Amino acid sequence: MKRVNSLVEFVEAVKKERNGNKVLLNQHETSRSAVTLGDEDTESGTRLHVKAVLNDSLYYSEVFTDDTLYEEANGLIQELKGLTEVELVSEEEIDRLVEK
């Protein structure tokens, strides 16, 4: 399975293959830090984990920690959902497909 390095590249691939696309998507948020120390160097906020598979042939995975990139990723995911049918699946299901 070919891996792409950006969500933009993944969305562009979906646009190119308009017919019969099958996109499996997993996205979930986690906290960047379980401990709050009050130090300006301490990470806070959330991380967005995104994994996606297109037609069992193209794979994308990334963790977003920057708030601006996080918002851009959410926008691209919404665009993706507007382009084709997206099935939300577990992270484990995507990992199994990628390992084949």
Q: What is the per-residue pLDDT across 32-53, written as a single tens digit (0 to 9) for each?
A: 655 445 445 445 567 888 999 9
For the chain, the average pLDDT equals 85
Share above pLDDT 90 across residues of the chain, in percent, rounded to a whole number: 52
Within its chain, how far is the Cα of 32 from the centroid?
A: 17
Q: Are strands 23-31 and 46-54 parallel, antiparallel or unpaired?
A: antiparallel
Q: Calculate mean pLDDT across residues 90-97.
A: 94
Quick one: pLDDT at residue 36?
47
**pLDDT score of 44:** 57
CA distance 84 to 56: 15
Average pLDDT over residues 58-74: 89
Distance CA 47, CA 89 (A): 19
